Amino acid sequence: MSTKPNGGVAQFSVNAPEFEEHRYETYRELRAKAPVFWHEETASWFITRYEDVSKLLVGERFITSRLVPAKMEIVPEGEQAEFSDIIDIISTWMVYNDRPRHAQLRGHMNRAFLSAEIALIQPEIAKIVSEQLDDVLLRNGTEFDFVTEVAHPIPALVLCKMLGIPGDEVKRFIQWSDDIAAFMQDFVVSPVPDREISAQTRQSMREIVAYLTDAIAERRGAPRNDLLSRLISERPGEDGQLLDSEVMTQVIHLIFGGHKIPQFLLSNCLHLLFRTPDAFTAVKREPEKLLTPAVEEAIRLEGPTQFITRHAAEEVEVHGKTIKQGDSVYFYLGAAGRDPDAFDDPEAFRLDRSGRRHLGFGGGYHACIAAAFSRVEVEEVLKGVLARVPGIRPRYDLDSPRWTSNPTFHGILDMPVSVAKSDVLPVASASSASGPSA
């Protein structure tokens, strides 16, 4: 039993349905009474105030490279082999490496998110959204599930297009990403990683490694006009350039993060617009002007990443509590985003918000490398959706959506929606026009 003080706040389980249901009430209590809270279930400190999170994420006092080995240290003896195939890959990701290795990896992978790269994909996103919605409406008519038909597949389709992965591989791609997400959700918060989840993910990891190894070798021989070709080093292993095997593992990280984060941000943002009719009307009227603040508010209020984990590289004292070197720390971005000391009317979804920036993509040198791309992608998808089906409206209980049950990622699992009959007509007309002539 830990003897570390808890500030008078009762212990709770982050895996319990009650936590998901009352997440923001818990954040509020922690910010007010125990901004540095020792959580026994995760054996970690929870930090929830905006000022603390924003300051402590900067610099070298809290690091990421301890998370994977610390988790593996508590796996029962003899079971490490159950996870080794996965661990060997995720331990190479830049998110689990600190300087100077992180700087090398980030410098190389930054080329995926240069403004020119983002500009190249924007018209492709619009085309993907249009084609996907045409297909959805043709198959479903006026009712469909926004997550299943839009938020889940479209980020995967976008990544496939960027990387030069053929369209007929998208279903495999989505399965790989979903399996990696299932493992990561479990790995971060479970006392011991789940062997069944690991077994499924291990198979997907083997498949994606084989696929990308072949794809990279093929592009080295015959480069294409795609991101995968541009990520390959000209002189692998020389002057700090990445080996092909290192590019492959970083691309797996890109696939995982570049699929799941936009998926949840898309669903969460549309949900908030549904819940705020005046804002929704305004966004539909002026999407070019108002989609950006709408997406930023969604990241602040219902961010896909509710917390990020670090370990203390040195002893740090915060609000009278001593965080010892090696202690695990959860920085709650979701709690910081609703801190009344940082944001006026913090529980409200406001398109006119100004002042401090949210921390939804983290901070310091580990801040999300794909933040700018994710913003653009989500805005482009929502702009395409609102242009194609302006009559979209919810067909689920806005007060009780079905959220993810794991605390690692925060998003809506299903969103039944309907659209106006007039939104379907262009598809029907196009279908009729392309049919056989009399």
User: pLDDT at position 72, please?
Assistant: 87
What's residue 109's pLDDT? 92
Q: What percent of the chain has pLDDT over 70?
A: 96
CB 180 within 8 A of CB 205: yes
- Does the structure show a pLDDT above 90 at 103? yes
pLDDT of residue 5: 66
pLDDT band at 79 (very low <50, low <70, confident <90, very high): confident
- Burial class of residue 59 (count of CB atoms within 10 Å of its CB; 0-12, 13-18, 19+): exposed
**Between 184 and 324, the higher pLDDT residue:** 324
Exposure letters 342-375 (e unless 16+ CB within 10 A, then b): bbeebeebbbebeebebbbbbbeebebbbeebbb
- pLDDT band at residue 434 using 50, 70 and 90 as cut-offs: very low
Q: Tokens 């998003």 correspond to what residue?
A: 411
- Percentage of residues in the chain with pLDDT exceeding 90? 74
Q: Please, which residues have CB within 8 angstroms of residue 93's CB and are 6 or more apart in sequence?
A: 249, 250, 252, 253
Mean pLDDT within 307-319: 96
So where are the chain's domains?
Answer: 17-433
Q: What is the pLDDT of residues 364-374, one digit of tens each?
A: 999 988 898 99
Choices 1.10.630.10, 3.20.20.80, 2.40.50.90, 1.10.3720.10: CATH for 17-433:
1.10.630.10
The most confident of 15-24, 191-200, 243-252, by mean pLDDT = 243-252
Q: For residues 352 and 116, what is the distance between their CA atoms, to the nearest angstrom?
A: 29
**45 pLDDT more than 90:** yes
Q: Which residues contact 258 (CB under 8 A, 6 or more apart)?
A: 155, 159, 370, 373, 374
Name which residue leads in pLDDT, 385 or 84: 385
Mean pLDDT across 86-97: 93
What's the pLDDT score for residue 428? 54
Do the beta carbons of residue 358 and residue 300 sit within 8 Å? yes
| Average confidence (pLDDT) over 235-241 | 89
Lowest mean pLDDT among 37-51, 182-196, 230-244, 270-284: 182-196
* Residue 256 vs residues 5, 147, 155, 159: alpha-carbon distances, Å: 37, 17, 11, 10
Q: Given pLDDT bands bounded at 50, 70 and 90, which one contains residue 78?
A: confident
Residues 6+ apart with CB under 8 A from 287: 382, 383, 386, 387
255 pLDDT exceeds 80?
A: yes
Q: Across all residues in the chain, what is the average pLDDT?
A: 91
What was the pLDDT predicted at 2? 40
pTM as predicted: 0.92
- Looking at per-residue confidence, does 83 or 96 come out higher? 96
Average pLDDT over residues 386-398: 96
Average pLDDT over residues 25-45: 96
Where is mean pLDDT largest: 45-49, 239-243, 259-263?
45-49
For position 269, what pLDDT does the model report? 98
Q: What was the pLDDT predicted at 426?
A: 64
Length of the chain: 438
* 153-162 pLDDT tens trace: 999 999 999 9
Least confident of 20-34, 71-85, 359-373: 71-85
Q: What is the mean pLDDT of residues 36-50?
A: 96
Is 437's pLDDT higher than 70?
no
